[in-house]
Each structure stands twice: as C-alpha cells, then as structure tokens.
A and B are shown apart, each in its own frame.
Chain A
Amino acid sequence: MNNYIKRIKNEFASSPDLVIKKININLLHKVYVIFLDTLSSQDKINDYILKKLVNINLIFNIENILPGGNVVKLKKYDEIEYYLYNGFTIVIDNKNIYAVETRADIVRSISTNETEPSIKGPKSAFVENFQINIGLIKKRIKNHHLKIKNITIGRISNINVGILYIDNIAKKELIETVYQKLESVDIDLINDSADLYPYLTKKSIFPTLIYTERPDRCADALASGKIVIICDESPNAIILPAFLVDFLHPYSDRYNKSVNINLTKIIRLICFFLSIMVPAFYISIINYNQEAIPTSLIINFATQRSDIPFPAVIECFMMLIICEILRESDLRFPTKYGSSVSVLGALLIGEAAVSAGLVTPIMIIITAFTYISSLIFTDIEIGNAIRTYRFIFLIISAMFGLYGFMITFIFFILNLCDTKSFDFFYTFPISPFDNSYFKDVFFKLKNNLRSKYLTKNITKEKL
C-alpha cells in the first residue's frame, strides 16, 4: 500500500489539487482516501466515505461500509489515474483499491437548444456531461434493446465516447464499422465530437454526419436504425449515416401539420438549388447568352450597367465576398455588442453601394435573394457546402456561360450521387428510392414502416 501512495505522490507531484488523507481505523489498520479537489465533490466525499470510515474500529469488507451507488474495485494500479480524473475518490485499503463516485457538478444545467430552435416540440439540449446526455436519450427510449458501446479516445484526454444503437433495429455491419473506425482513432486530445469527423468521414464537400444538440432527434434516429455517437465533454451528438435530405429539412418539421409543412419543404428544395445557382445563371445570361433575356429586361439591365465601371463578374464576386464577410462577422461577434454590425453591413451593401455607382440594383437583388435562400438551412455545414458550390458555379459560368453552367450542374449532380455516408448513398431516398424514408423525411406523409435500406426490422406499428 505504501508503494501505491509513493507512486501516486510521484506521478501527481505537480498537482496541487491532489488530496491524500490517511484514516487510522485502528493501530494496525490504515485506509488512504485520495481525490482531486477540483473534480470531486467535498460533500459527497464526506457523506459517502469520511463519515463512514471515521466512526469504525474494525473493517472486514470495506465495500459493505461505503454507501455510494457506484463503487468499483480496481484490478490494477494503472486504472487509478482514469478514475481520479473522472471525479472518483480512490480508497486504498491494504492492497485493495476502490473507486467511489464523488463527481463534482461542474457542468451547466440543461438548457434550450440554440442551433436548432423550434417553436413546437422539446427544447432541451445536450450538455457537456456524458451521463446526463445518455440519460436524456434513455428518458425517450425506455427499452432494454438500447445498447451503448463505450470507447476511451485520446492519449492525453482519455475521453469516454459512447456508440448508441438499438440492437434489434440497427444493422450489425454498421455498428461494427463504426466501432472499428473509432477504435483506430489515435490522437492526443478530443475537445468535442466534431474532432471525430476526419476519422468517420471521407473527403467531401457535403456534410455526411449530422451534428445535433437535440436528444429527441437522436432518439428518432435510433428508432429508424441509425447510430448515435456521444462524446464526454461535448454538447453535440453525431448521428450517422446522414443524407442530403436530413440537412435540407430541420427536425422541427416533425412537430408541424403535414399539409402545410409539405409546401414549406418544396420551397426549401427550390431554395437549395436557387441559392447555389442564381448568381452563376445571372452572370452567364448577362455576359454570354443575352438572347435568353426578354428585350425589355435586357435594355433595363444595360441601362443600369451603363455607369458601372466593373464587369458584371467582378461586381458579383465583390458582392458575394462582402456578404460572406458580413456573415462571418455576424457569427463570431459576441451578441452582447449588439447587432449593429449587421445593420452597418446592410447599409453598406444597399443604398450606399448603388449610389456610389459600384454595383447595380439588380446585383443587390440577386445577392440578397441568394443569401436569404441559404439562410433557410440551419445546419452550418450545409451552408458552407452551398457556398462552396456557389463559387464553383460562378467561376465556371463566368468563363463559359450557360454551357459552363450546365457542365458544372452535371458535375454537381454526379458529385452528389457519388457521395456516400458510411457506404449509404447520400442521395437516399431519391436514389436509391425508398418509400418509407421518403414519406418520413423528404415529405411528411403517413408512414408506418422503417426504411429497408437502414434496417431489416421495418415494422414500427401495427399494420
């Protein structure tokens, strides 16, 4: 036992928060209580350990004395570090080492989700605590088929990562693939579940994993045969596999009336393509294919452009880049400083730029329409993908006109069809077509079956 204490003192020499308390049970029997002050709760240590040990003279089995709900007997010395850093108190009695859970509550309380707001439906969001996050999901899936596979990732961080799945719904091959990929992760530190992205996805412009802070979304994904990955110290969970349609429609659509929401879904689909292609289409017809514009409109455009010194392409790039700068500054700027940045940017782009003769009013309309269409999508990753493709379309159309536009469109469709999320086609449920997922997610229609593509257990209610 003394060797253990010496080793602990050596290893944690520069940790001023390490507390080693020696309790003399009797003349012959000593027990050591070791904990990290910053991670453990003093109250719990007092209640579960110190008060119990101080009042006794003889101990036969220390496990029976410690009343804590989570008492683990450690098999080897090397596990001490892991449990100490997870808020456990180590009790060393002769050669027996026990870890008692006395975790301090240094997490924030469950709050409303900020990145996926909804008017109807649950508002709770994940926090930076693994157990609480698992609890939020288990409150929604009260079934023994919900399984969790735990992995510790990070050489320095040793963060606990859990793979959640419902074993009679999710495909076993998918579970195994995910587990193997996470087991092969060899990095120093994980701060958030987003750090696992490069290990779970291949290179693609479009996002192939859903990154969510909604427990209800995770529960729904598990029920449809998907897998959820929860990372300790991360308020976001990863859902996989993910498809394009999952990013186009927010999850809160589920809580709205289907007839009305289906129209909104159609508008979103149109906005997805418009947001990418409108600036490129405008440039190609203004500079290459003027015959495509009605005469009265083209005279109007020519009159507007008569005083502008820049070519239409430069004007378009300028406006899009200014809007990107505005968007980035709006995202990063602390909200406490107010939203004056957005107002300033809008003034700059609007009246002032047109009055100064730098841009045409039509270009302001095109840019505004493009950005308003892209703001419909709440997921930042799909917004970034849309932006990337917008610039690709613009560059090729600026060089080749409508011909270039069509070539880029073909490339865009091919890229979309070629993208995969864990060997599942990204364009699912359009291609391959699946009636159940189409009715569930693409449009909101009555559906009582799970998708055959994701699971073999397709029945979810009485037919």
Chain B
Amino acid sequence: MKKILLIFIILFLTGCYDYMEINDLGFITAIGIDYEEDTYKATFEILDDSDDIQKIKSESKTISNLFDNISLIISKVPDYHHLKTVIISKSVAQNHLKELTDFLIRSPEIRNEFLLVVCEGTSPLELFKKDSKESIGEKIAKLIKTSKNQTNISYDRSFEDILEKILNKKMEATASVITLENDEITLKGIGLFKGYNYKYFLDTKKSSLLNILNKENTNYSIFIENMETKIYESNVKYDFKENTVTININAKAKIIENTTQMDLKDNKNYLIIEKKLNKVLENDLNDLINNLKDNNIDAINLNDRQYKKTRKNRNNYLKNADIKINIDTKINWKGSIFQIDEN
C-alpha cells in the first residue's frame, strides 16, 4: 500500500512540470541582428501552426531585452530549439560579438547548433523584408550546406565550432559571409575573425583555397591559356621543423574546358599542364598566406597544428614561420579528347 501511495505521490506531484502543448510554441528559425545608433535591432522569423511565416521586429539597448521583447508581441511561447541561422551585421561582428556570444552561451533555451553568418553590404534586417513562403533561416542554411559540395566557398560549421575557435587562443574563427544582390541572398565567401572581432572576408577564390588548406572539401577552378581545369580532390599535409612549415599538397585535377590547340592525346602535354597548374596554385596559395600573415590572422590554424605535432607552445607562429608549399597535381580526368580544327 505504501509503495502504491509513494508512486502516486511521485507521479502526480512532480509530473508534467515542463509540459508544453505544441500549438503554444512559436518556432524561431532565423534571427537577424544589427546595431545602429546605440540600439540593437533584430528581426525574428517565427514558424507556427498557421500557414504564414511571421517576422517580428524588436529593438533594445541590450541583447537580453531584444530577445525578451518578442514575447510582448507574439501570442506563442518562443522556442529556439529549431534555430537554423543567426545573421549578424558587420557592425555587430566587429564590435558586439562578445556580448552576443555571452548571451547565447548563457541561454539554456538556445542550443549552439545554428549557423552564424555575417551579412556584408546590407543590414541583415533587409533579408527578412521580402515576402516568401520559404523560411530565410532554412534557405541560408541549405545554401551554405550545398555550397560546401558545389562551390566550396562556405564555412559549414555550427556556432559551437566558431565558439570553440574563439575561446581557444591557438585558433582564429571563420564564418560564412552573405549579401543581398539583385534581391537574392548570395554567398560571398568566408569571413575572418581575430578573437571576437570580425576583420574582413575572403572572396570566392581565396575562400576556396582556405578550405583546401583547412582540409575541407576541394573545388578550385584554374584558368590557364584557354583551358579551364578544376582541382577536385586534395591531400594536404603539414610538416613542422622549428620555424619552417612545409605544406605538401597532392591534388587531383580534371579538364573542364579546352579551347587550345594542344594535342590532349599526347601524354607529354599533360606534364606541361600539370607543371603550370602547380605553379598557379602555388602562387595563389602564397598570396593567401601572405594576406593572412599581413593581417596576423591564423585562419589555417597553423598554431594549433604545430602544437599538436611538436607539443611546443609558440605564439604567432604564422607570422614568424617560413612557409613553403609543395604541390603535386595530377590530371586524372581528361574528358573527351579532341582537337578543335580551326580550318
């Protein structure tokens, strides 16, 4: 009898404390945050049981009030578990990322699995002004994920990963950068952070190279002498000896377009093409690395890599190191081999 009573008491006095009807929830899928005139401005994209996508605006001096204010407007309980994207403006990324990150880490309702995206050239609030049946948060998330395989110019990692890099002194964080071009959301490249401060973004070519060096997907087009080739696979290894780093890249390439007079049936020509490819790629990579060195942004995580291999704590390793690049490209997808007869 006592056991039954105990079970009864446990069930009915402690049960259902976090019960929530699904119709009472408003699922927030995207947040756009800007900072203008000493005020945080945000637009929240909310999905619920109605057919329309609600876009709620909020303004406040503090970030926590910014999030709290939406409860004054919508009739549903905000649910952040389905948050896909947080789009921040350049001004927020440069000066207020620390406050935003602090708030996001402290909130138990917000999981850090969303994508953090920087919006260049326009306010993130502009992205939500267009009426569309598709959720902006999902659209941007899909764009970034698809680009990883197709164009390789995005950074497809969650906020958790960015946070880990910001908090880890040996790494620098990166994030995808988007803009509004001809009324369409367009991916611009990868943005670089120095600690909590956003510095600048790399264009599509440099973003692709950065992903190669970071051992992400490989998809890099090279146009040499009327021939377009694409590096589609690469194997990157770092060798550390004191202050010298050797980056060994074994790449595989394919010929996409050939309008030269070169006889592609002759294997010797491929050696010539491969040499040229190696040279072009080496130059492009050196440009990127010098760019990163000048700005002292270790976006290729050289500090962390050398520590893992050598266990020697060296700060500013990128700036001080002598970086050599060895590239070995092989063309193993030649495509249809024919000669264009100009006669």
Contacts and interface: CB of A to CB of B under 8 A. Distances in A.
A306 to B, nearest CB: 4
Contacts of B135: 295
A295 B138 contact: yes
Contacts of A461: none
Nearest to B12: A399
A303 interface: yes
A305 B24 CA distance: 11
Contacts of A135: none
Contact of A295 (B29, B50, B51, B111): B29
A399 B15 contact: yes
A376 to B, nearest CB: 31
Interface string A311-351: 11000000000000000000000000000000000000000
Interface in B76-126: 79, 81-82, 84, 111
Interface of A is mostly: helix
Given A295-B138, A399-B11, A290 B19 contact: no
B81 A291 contact: yes
Nearest to B135: A295
Interface in A381-410: 395-396, 398-401, 404
B138 A288 contact: no
B269 to A, nearest CB: 51
Given A302-B25, A306-B49, A288 B82 contact: no
A295 B49 CA distance: 12
Contacts of B48: 299, 302
A287 interface: yes
A295 B82 contact: yes
Interface string A412-424: 0000000000000
B84 A298 contact: no
B21 interface: yes
Given A290-B25, A290-B79, A298-B22, A305 B49 contact: yes
A286 interface: yes
B5 interface: no
A286 B24 CA distance: 12
B18 A306 contact: no
B27 interface: yes
B43 to A, nearest CB: 18
A85 interface: no
Contacts of A288: 18-20
A303 B135 CA distance: 16
B321 to A, nearest CB: 44
Contacts of B84: 295
B259 interface: no
A279 to B, nearest CB: 16
B267 interface: no
B81 A290 contact: yes
A298 B26 CA distance: 11
Contacts of A290: 20, 22, 25, 79, 81
Contacts of A398: 15-16
Contact of B15 (A306, A311, A312, A400): A400
A interface residue count range (under 10 / 10 to 19 / 20 to 34 / 35 or more): 20 to 34
Contacts of A400: 15-16
B190 interface: no
Contacts, number: 63
A273 to B, nearest CB: 24
B23 A306 contact: yes
Nearest to B19: A287
Contact of B18 (A305, A395, A401): A401
B47 interface: yes
B68 to A, nearest CB: 21
Interface in A278-310: 286-288, 290-291, 295, 298-299, 301-303, 305-306
A202 to B, nearest CB: 18
Contacts of B11: 395-396, 399
A398 B79 CA distance: 20
Contact of B23 (A291, A305, A401): A305
Given A399-B11, A399-B15, A287 B81 contact: no
B120 to A, nearest CB: 27
Interface in B44-68: 47-51
Contacts of B18: 288, 401
Contact of A302 (B15, B19, B22, B138): B22
Nearest to A399: B15
Contacts of B20: 287-288, 290
A301 B21 CA distance: 11
A400 B15 CA distance: 6
A47 to B, nearest CB: 65
B274 to A, nearest CB: 45
Nearest to B11: A399
Contacts of A303: 49-51
Given A290-B81, A305-B49, A295 B27 contact: yes
A367 B128 CA distance: 40
A291 B111 contact: yes
B15 A287 contact: no
Given A286-B22, A302-B23, A311-B21, A291 B15 contact: no
Nearest to A395: B11
Contacts of A302: 22-23, 25, 27, 48-49
B78 to A, nearest CB: 12
Contacts of B25: 290, 302
Contact of A291 (B16, B50, B82): B82
A195 to B, nearest CB: 29
Contacts of A299: 27, 47-49
Looking at A286, A299, A398, the one whose CB has the most chain B CB atoms below 10 A away is A299
Contact of A312 (B22, B29, B50, B79): B22
A262 B135 CA distance: 46
Nearest to A292: B81
A130 B289 CA distance: 93
Nearest to A311: B21
A309 to B, nearest CB: 11
A396 B27 CA distance: 26
Given A287-B21, A295-B82, 4 more contacts: A287-B19, A295-B138, A299-B27, A302-B27
Interface of A: 286-288, 290-291, 295, 298-299, 301-303, 305-306, 311-312, 395-396, 398-401, 404
11 contacts: A287-B21, A290-B20, A295-B27, A295-B82, A302-B48, A303-B50, A305-B21, A305-B23, A312-B22, A400-B16, A404-B15
- Ranked 8 nearest A-B pairs via Cβ: A399-B15, A291-B81, A302-B49, A306-B49, A295-B82, A303-B49, A302-B22, A299-B47
